[in-house]
Homo-oligomer: A and B are copies of this chain.
Amino acid sequence: MSEATQQNLRRPAPVVILVRPQLAENIGMCARAMANFGLSEMRLVAPRDGWPQKSALKKGAFSAAAGATHILTAAKHYDTLDAALFDLHHVYATTARFREQAKPVQAPAIALPEAASRVASGQKVGLMFGPERTGLESDEVMAASSIITFPVNPDYASLNLAQAVLLTGYEWMRAAQGDVLPFTMPEPSPPAAQGMVGQFFGFLEQELDRVRFFHPEGKKPVMMRNLRNIIHRMAPTEQDIRTLWGMIDLLAKGGKKPGSKKPGSKNPLAEGEAPAVTDA
């Protein structure tokens, strides 16, 4: 992870408010989803089984959190929604159902970039999620400034609580720092420059001429063009070209002699050598 990513993850982020959550295990899974995407402040409004909970229940939450226990440990408990929202400047209510309320309804990919600008300008932003079975009640949605809903297949619209937190967190992280991936394609070898690829084509053409691959001769231009397109499309690295060169060379020479370590031919692009651009 880059220094910049680390710093972004320490910056202010929206607060997640779970309203009347029912199952400790789901609270734990929400904590895990938050941790996946750089959210850390959880508020619990009147959780059905209380909080802190009896040790057996709490254990369920902590085990479902899969390592994100710091979020559960720091979670604050509120008796009322008003108390939980008191210091927030803008609250988004998530809901899967249509509400007869004159509030903007936004997709997460629209709402979270907006939330990120609010956070960047110093506002405290809340993301509010209702209980597992029923979702937020209308009075609870009323306390929010905007509604987030998900672009789901309306025939199967029900997301579970942790999944709603997950999608919201995903768009938060994308909005706050873009699609920064934890890893990218390894680049063991630099991409082959045109000159190197051209040398390879020269060698390939010479060997294919030798075995009379281009038959009838009139088809040669089309066939060479096709071969060149195949090679260019694979965006070869220098190592790829050396591998192909060695392969063609060995096929052309009929194989290594027993005991020999190198193919019989000299490969001008042998590993470690800088390819010289010649007009061979």
Contacts and interface: CB of A to CB of B under 8 A. Distances in A.
How many A residues are at the interface, by size bracket?
A: 35 or more
B182 A96 contact: yes
Contacts of A32: 156
B149 A182 contact: yes
A267 to B, nearest CB: 21
A244 interface: no
| Copies of this chain, whole number | 2
Contacts of A163: 33, 36, 162-163, 166
Overall SS of chain A's interface: loop
Given A166-B167, A170-B167, A181-B107, A154 B1 contact: yes
Contacts of A159: 36, 166
A110 interface: yes
B180 A151 contact: yes
Interface string A61-73: 0000011100000
7 contacts: A1-B154, A9-B153, A9-B155, A37-B152, A98-B182, A102-B186, A150-B181
Q: Lowest 6 A-B CB distances belong to which pairs?
A: A35-B156, A107-B179, A98-B183, A1-B154, A154-B182, A151-B179
Interface of A: 1, 5, 9, 32-33, 35-38, 66-68, 96-105, 107, 109-110, 147, 149-159, 162-163, 166-167, 170, 173-174, 177-186, 188, 237
Given A36-B153, A159-B166, 19 more contacts: A9-B153, A35-B156, A36-B152, A36-B158, A37-B152, A68-B156, A97-B183, A98-B186, A99-B186, A101-B185, A102-B188, A102-B237, A105-B184, A107-B179, A151-B173, A151-B177, A163-B163, A163-B166, A167-B167
